Amino acid sequence: MFIHKNLLCRALKHSLILQLTSIMVVSVCLFGCGKKTPPVPPRQPVITSVKDLSSNIDGDMVVLTWTLPEEKEYKSAGIKYFVVHRAKQKIPDGDCRNCPVNFKPVAEVSAETKLPVKKMKYAEPLEKGFKYVFKIIAISNTGTESSDSNFIEIVY
Are the CB atoms for 136 and 53 separated by under 8 Å? Answer: yes
Are the CB atoms for 65 and 76 separated by under 8 Å? Answer: no
Average pLDDT value for residue range 41-70? 85
Average pLDDT value for residue range 96-113? 83
- Out of 2.60.40.10, 3.40.309.10, 3.30.70.920, 1.25.40.340, select the CATH number for domain 54-155: 2.60.40.10
Residue 88 has pLDDT above 80, yes or no: yes
Residues 27, 31: Cα–Cα separation, whole Å: 6
DSSP 137: E
Residue 80 has pLDDT above 80, yes or no: yes
Could you state, in order of their start, the residue ranges of all structural domains in the chain? 54-155
